[in-house]
């Protein structure tokens, strides 16, 4: 069960932390694994798509759950476009890190 859960989570956590996650899942009880499988994790690909299409309006940050940054990005029109472009490169690693922290909270 741990290996199938790991395969589901693999693309939603940072590459550098995947091995650590796999080891932690191997030593985790079935109750915790079941709880982790029920988590609502954000998809980094959707975050990137939102960033490219609607990043100037802060929609990518709202999706990530960072409401204050989303509002700030919205009222500055994505930092006049500069912040929006920078987020094209930062949003996926940021969402993956948030997902890993959420999983680690249950471990």
pLDDT tens-place values along the chain, 107 residues long: 567 888 888 889 999 988 888 888 888 888 888 888 888 999 999 999 999 999 999 999 999 999 999 999 999 998 899 999 999 999 999 999 999 999 888 87
Helices (H), 1-107: 2-9, 18-26, 30-37, 44-54, 59-64, 67-75, 77-80, 82-106
């Amino acid at each position: 069960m741990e290996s199938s859960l790991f395969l589901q989570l693999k693309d939603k956590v940072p590459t550098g932390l995947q091995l650590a996650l796999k080891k932690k899942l191997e030593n985790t009880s079935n109750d915790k694994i079941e709880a982790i499988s029920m988590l609502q994790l954000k998809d980094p690909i959707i975050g990137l798509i939102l960033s490219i299409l609607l990043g100037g309006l802060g929609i990518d940050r709202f999706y990530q759950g960072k409401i204050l940054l989303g509002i700030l990005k919205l009222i500055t029109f994505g930092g006049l476009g500069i912040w929006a472009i920078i987020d094209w490169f930062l949003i996926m690693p940021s969402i993956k890190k948030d997902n890993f922290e959420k999983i680690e909270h249950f471990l």
